[in-house]
Amino acid sequence: MTDDAPTTAPVADSRALALAHYAARGVLEHVLARHDITFPQHVTLRAAVTAAAPQTPQDLVGQVRESLKADPAGIRATVDELLAARLLVADGSHLRPTDSGRGLLAAVGAEVAPVSARIWGGIPAEDLAAAGRVLALVAERADAELAGLTA
């Protein structure tokens, strides 16, 4: 085989998507473990921090459920963990991230940023745009299938 032999690009399919997802998530979870936070806690805290306005617990659970497709009871337990760790605080009927919660999210983001840059760096913009369109379509179709299964 010569160095100039044509190569076949891998086909995007469920397995390729899963392998990429779990590889990237593995990197993130390694960082999260150093900060003593789980992936579901990170997703939930990020949802609270990035919300335009404070959310009720029910709203936050709904938003995280939309992202993770997880059981609401498990998400409520995650919210309780974040409250117990004082990363979220109840303010009347709403939840607010604490300064500690915001700081933790910022620290994780700062630690992940250079790793993310190495992972994503050098990929041509047109490839990222094409991948983004495909992934958005796959997510839309999968959400529709899931809705049909749970109706």
Q: Print pLDDT tens along the chain (151 aa).
A: 555 656 777 888 999 999 999 999 999 999 999 999 999 999 999 999 999 999 999 999 999 999 999 999 999 999 999 999 999 999 999 999 999 999 999 999 999 999 999 999 999 999 999 999 999 999 999 999 999 998 7
Torsion-angle region of 36 (φ positive above 0: left; ψ -120 to 50: alpha; else: beta): left
What is the pLDDT at residue 132?
95
Burial class (CB in 10 A: 0-12, 13-18, 19+), 17: middle
Write down the pLDDT at residue 9: 78
pLDDT at 8: 79
- On whether the CB atoms of residues 81 and 75 are closer than 8 A, the answer is no
pLDDT of residue 4: 62
DSSP 42-83: HHHHHHHHH-SS-B-HHHHHHHHHHHH---HHHHHHHHHHHH
Tally the C-alpha atoms within 13 A of residue 83's C-alpha that lie toward its C-beta. Answer: 13
Which CATH number describes the domain made up of 30-112? Answer: 1.10.10.10
